[in-house]
Structure 1
Amino acid sequence: MDLQKIKALIDLLADSPLAKLEVIEGEERVKLVKAKRRGKRAEAPSGDERAAVTSTLGTQGSQGAQSPLAEPAQSVDTPQAAPATTSEPQLVRAPMFGVVHLTPAPGEAPFVNPGDTIKEGQVLCTIEAMKMFNAIESELSGAVLEILVAPGSEVESGQPLFRIG
């Protein structure tokens, strides 16, 4: 993936309400995470905020070269995924419109099943939008109580995907 395309993705993320963006093209993979600005209130990100590249480029099976734009990963707080202080089940919601895929590839085992114990950052599914697959990661640890969508179905932004307890 060339530097021009990565810069365009950074600008796209900075201008969008999304907190994370992951792009996989063949064996190349780039993951962008919007950095929080220090000293600002937690509001909608302004257009001048930049995204931090938090992954390496190259093939998935190799170390890959570190991007010249790479910065240390920073945690991103999103209102939909704030961990609960009670034992109440939480919903994982779709961050965008697209087609949900519950397996990494046709014929493979699902990312998660009801009853599975998951960790924060674990991939739950992917959402395909504009021929790009976006990994949806859990923002909390717990057990998958229910999968609320069917494989291959279209989902809207904000639609509940999983119930985690």
Structure 2
Amino acid sequence: MDLQRIKALIDLIAQSPLAEIELIEGEDRVRLVKTPKTQSSSTDAASTRAEGEAQPPSGVPTEAPQQAPSAGAARVIHAPMFGVVHLTPAPNEPAFAQLGDSVSEGQVICTIEAMKMFNAIESEFAGTLTEILVKAGQEVESGQPLFRISQ
């Protein structure tokens, strides 16, 4: 893949609302991830986020989150990419996790559908699910808070 094409991809993602783009041509693979200006630069969209809750992007409707009584310090799980949140593995199936459930590090707690691909979102830490900050079927931005987990 030539340098001109890579530069064109960088310009494309910089000027668009896309959070990430990946191009694969034969053995060549280029993946670009745009991070919010308030966070440090990273090439991995699934990298650990700051423990503080980020503000939702402008234009995203804010709704009252589902909340359970919390005890102890809470940590927030953020969306690693833009897409549509699915809280269940399939229609008419139970949720990956519900309020009050104990979750372990690495446990799948939702999926995000992006470009017809379902990406499993795993908990970054263990604890009790105390708040669901999104609704099923809602579009989310990269870095948007999804869940709050108490230690």
* TM-score (structure 2 length as normaliser): 0.58
1:16 CA drift (Å) = 3.2
**Cα distance 1:81–1:134, how it changes in 2: closer, same or farther (>3 A)?**
farther
State the secondary structure of the residue aligned to 2:49.
helix
The residue aligned with 2:120 is: 135
Residue correspondences, number: 102
**CA offset digits 1:93-147 (Å, max 9, x no partner):** 1111111000000000000000000000000100001111011001100000011
Q: Which of 10, 33, 50 is equivalent to 1:16?
A: 33
The residue aligned with 1:112 is: 97
Structure 2 CA distance, aligned partners of 1:122 and 1:88? 20
**Cα distance 1:44–1:155, how it changes in 2: closer, same or farther (>3 A)?**
closer
RMSD (CA atoms): 2.7
1:7 CA drift (Å) = 5.3
Structure 2 CA distance, aligned partners of 1:132 and 1:101? 12
Structure 2 CA distance, aligned partners of 1:79 and 1:137? 11
**Cα distance 1:133–1:5, how it changes in 2: closer, same or farther (>3 A)?**
farther
Structure 1 position 79 matched with structure 2 position 79: no
The residue aligned with 2:42 is: 44
1:88 CA drift (Å) = 1.6
State the secondary structure of the residue aligned to 2:33.
coil
Question: Gapped runs of 5+ residues in structure 2?
Answer: 1-23, 52-71
Structure 2 CA distance, aligned partners of 1:81 and 1:17? 16
**Cα distance 1:121–1:12, how it changes in 2: closer, same or farther (>3 A)?**
farther
* TM-score (structure 1 length as normaliser): 0.54
Q: Which of 135, 138, 143 is equivalent to 1:158?
A: 143
**Identical-pair percentage:** 53
Structure 1 CA distance, aligned partners of 2:120 and 2:91? 16
Q: Which of 95, 111, 133 is equivalent to 1:126?
A: 111
State the structure with bigger RCO (CA 8 A, min sep 6), 1 or 2: 2
Structure 1 position 89 matched with structure 2 position 58: no
Structure 1 CA distance, aligned partners of 2:25 and 2:98? 35
